[in-house]
Structure 1
Amino acid sequence: MSTTLSSSSTRWQRLLHHPATLPAVYTLLTVVATVVQFLKSSNLPYTNYNNYIIFRNAFYHLLQGQDMYVLHLVEQYDLYKYSPTFALLMGPFAVLPNFIGLLGWNALNAAALYWAVQQLPTIDIRARRVVLWLAAIELLTSMQNAQSNGLVAGLIIGGAVALERARPGRAALWLLLSVFVKLFGLVAFVLFWLYPRQRVRFVVWSVGLGIGLALLPLVVVPPAELLAQYQSWGRMLAADHSASFGLSVMGWLETWFGFLPPKTAVVLVGAALFCLPLLRFKQYQHAAFRTGLLAAVLLWVVVFNHKAESPTFVIAVAGVGLWWSLQPSRRWPDLALLLSVVLFTVLSPTDLFPRFLRKAYVVPYVLKAVPCIFVWARLTVELLTRDFAPRLTSATEAPATAVPAASLSV
């Protein structure tokens, strides 16, 4: 009996770690999410892939000189909240039939996350697989809503990959694109500070590419129209700031403790805690420390985002996966944190979780966010106190987190 179970377990492990398994799973999730949402019936006057329709329509609103940042309820539900540049870049999808465009959009999100994690040189191949498996269901949730979160996670991680490979121009491009999709990508720019010999080139590339991307819509609209779009975007974002607490630290403080601090104050405290590890200059040389700060970025942009929704958590869960890859001993408190992320963050929105528990506890008490908040707090303590120097497990084994010679150079 034990031999049979052992053999079965070995086969499952081989399947999970086979190089073709994850690409097949991510492809399957992309197709399933697209087909189900496209064919799913709805009693509403809008489609079940309304977010994609919003992105698609923004491209045409830009071309037609319409204000992108007001409600267009005849065409779509809800506001467009991204940049004019993103609206232009949606053009290749917008000109396609809806099903093909939606499939391509979801495929881009899945491919961006998969590619970026697989390219990350500071963790080994098994750790990359853990990150991708952990993020898979959250990616499905994001794609079922035709959201951009897989793409944003991929761009942020891709920026870190480029910095590790001493390519500051490419890093600036990926991180800037994340900003033009979702503004919270700005937080990821802190990563360049970990690479002293790349700082000047990164800043120069960022300024040049940032101006170029901001002005890119000028290829289809006159300057006055583009300026008006940016002004309207600013007004919409200012009005949107006070709309909700979301699945965030603010929502947790409100629902658990009845504490309603100003959002700006909470964000400033979070930002101060986030930046404190940057004072540990001697740790910059260690790949594990840089990976930890990347994980902190992915967690912070979600748990301190007052507009965070369930589909946003693919970004945070990728950060959880990176945090887990840094745990040398896998102690029970860390394992408990990981299991709570799987149970409450990943599984609670799915049909695998009892509906009555979801309605009675998970939603009212923002339990989807709480494990990620605790992981962020745990990670912050580690970044402030732990020595991230690589440890050799034997006399002949090289450290998995050894710093590449080129990673800190120009």
Structure 2
Amino acid sequence: MNTILKTLNNRKFILGIWLLLAIFLGFKQYHKGSYNNYLIFKHVYHHAVERLNLYAEYPQQYGDTNHYGPFFSLLIAPFALLPDYIGTILWQIANTLFLFFAIQQLPLAFKKINAVYWIVAHELMTALFSFQFNISIAAIIILTFAFIQRGKNFWAAMLIMLGTFVKLYGIVGLAFFFFVKKKWNFVLSCFCWALIFFILPMVFFSPTYILQCYQDWYRSLAQKQQLNASLTSMQDISVMGMARRISGDVNLPNLPFLAGGLLLFALPYLRIKAYADLNFRLLLLASTLIFTVIFSNSSESPTYIIAFLGVSIWFLIQQRPFKIWQIALFVFALLLTSFSPSDLFPKFVRENYIKPYSLKALPCLIVWLVIIYQMMCSKFNQTEQLHAE
């Protein structure tokens, strides 16, 4: 038993497992011809080189459309220039290593960080199956938090702007603004990085073309929001999606849900004296990771690598011994959110209940509400930091 526990807590062993998942799933999906997302990504670069509309449909090249910002054309370039059989594998490895590194920077005890790696491994697989960039979005949010914790404002600002200019999700890193020391320095850094990421694609392409791309990007995102809000979409696995699909009313608007969610999300900021407590800050990180996904109708199953990191962080910082309800809620999330899209879950239940009603979002919603309650009602002091450490 001790040997098994030692192996499970061996950081190199965990990294090896993660890399094997990245390589194996990349290889498997490439040889199946099932790597549509990667084709979309690499053509963002090629279309930019040819000055084509980045957001038009190109059915002869791939299905669906691109929804990433013009700066993504530079980010994907090193992979797009390689043959697909190499580019796909390296893309998987790069995203996996980035997330592994980000989790390692969390202010948690060694064994708790290892626990996070194991808990999210299945969600990582789900994201790797479809070559998702959301793996890196999760890394960006976590690393932003870690850098702010360490007073590295310049690099935290870089990550926020990088995530924003690639997929907008990165903007949620601003949720940690009140934990920033030297706030004006941070604001100035954000402004400088925003300018860099805005202008840099113009250096490689043309200012006129890139400005047009930004307009096209805005239109594509607006159109995507409308398409996602359906009763049959593979996306909209969100609070709004659950409400629409359970009620059968496709016309339920997003705004009331977003307004309510934002109000609840913002309430803990009133507890200014709690900011100094590490547990409070970690709960806000968990809240941010979950909120980003469950209140976006662009969320699909692989997006939950972001939310489930929030669930794992919430669970691991609970005071020991765990309460029965905490264990039950965590297991509920593990089964319904993480395992439900896979063959580990009964197909009949998955196809007739989980997918049609967006129930993958349900456990994350409950955990998020618990987090808000704990942030509002728990006593935070220096001794409670030991739960995280």
Alignment match, 2:124: 139
* 2:319 aligned counterpart, secondary structure: coil
The alpha-carbon deviation at position 297 of structure 1 amounts to: 0.7
Which amino acid letter does the alignment assign opposite residue 244 of structure 1? N
2:328 maps to what in 1?
336
Question: Could you report, residue by residue, the CA deviation over 1:4-59 in whole angstroms, capped at 9, with x for unpaired residues?
Answer: xxxxx43332221122221011011111111110111xxxxxx4111011010010
Conservation of the 8 A alpha-carbon contact between 2:26 and 2:88: yes
Q: Which amino acid aligns with 1:223?
A: P
- 1:1-400 correspondence to structure 2 within 5 Å: 9-40=1-32, 47-121=33-107, 123-195=108-180, 197-245=181-229, 246-258=236-248, 261-329=252-320, 330-391=322-383, 399=386
Post-superposition offset of 1:266: 1.2
Q: TM-score, normalised by structure 2?
A: 0.94
For 1:352, the aligned partner's letter is L
Residue identity in the other structure for 2:48: L
User: Distance in 2 between the 1:256 and 1:386 partners?
Assistant: 33
Conserved? CA contact 2:319–2:387, under 8 Å: no
Alpha-carbon offset, residue 400 of structure 1: 5.5
Q: CA deviation at 1:151?
A: 0.5
Distance between the aligned counterparts of 1:352 and 1:247, measured in 2? 20
CA RMSD of aligned residues (A): 1.6
Provide the residue aligned with 1:5 in structure 2. Answer: none
- Calculate percent identity across the aligned residue pairs: 33
Letter in 1 for 2:61: E
Per the TM alignment, residue 222 of structure 1 is displaced from its structure 2 partner at its CA by: 1.5
Q: Could you give the per-residue CA deviations for residues 295-346 of structure 1, whole angstroms, max 9, x where no partner exists? A: 1110001000101100000000111111112210311111111001111111
TM-score (norm 1): 0.90
Deviations 1:207-233 (A, max 9, x none): 110111011101221111111111111
Matches of 1:286 and 1:258 in 2, distance apart? 43
- In structure 2, the residue matched to 1:408 is none
CA distance in 1, matches of 2:221, 2:375: 32
Instruction: Describe the SS at the equivalent of 1:367.
Output: coil
Return the offset for 1:288.
1.0
Q: Distance in 1 between matches of 2:40 and 2:352?
A: 32
Pick closer, same or farther for the CA change 1:101–1:22 going to 2, 3 Å.
same
Deviation digits for residues 195-252 of structure 1 (CA, Å, limit 9, x no counterpart): 2x23111110001101110111012211111111111111111112222241100012
The gaps in structure 2 that reach 5 residues or longer are 230-235
Contact 1:289/1:388, CA 8 A, preserved across alignment = yes
Alpha-carbon separation, structure 2, partners of 1:258 and 1:360: 15
Give unpaired runs (5+ residues) of structure 1: 1-8, 41-46, 393-397, 403-410
| Separation in 2, partners of 1:98, 1:51 | 12
> Could you list the per-position Cα deviations for residues 101-149 of structure 1 after superposition, in whole angstroms to 9, with x for gaps in the alignment?
111111111111110111112x211221121111111111111101101
Preserved CA contact (<8 Å) 1:185 1:301: no
> Aligned AA for 1:13?
L
Q: Match of 1:185, as an amino acid?
A: G
- CA displacement at 1:401 relative to structure 2: 4.5
Shift of 1:258: 4.9
- Rounded to whole Å, the distance in 1 between the matches of 2:59 and 2:252 is 34
Question: For 1:19 and 1:164, how far apart are their aligned partners in 2?
Answer: 23
DSSP 3-state at the match of 1:306: coil
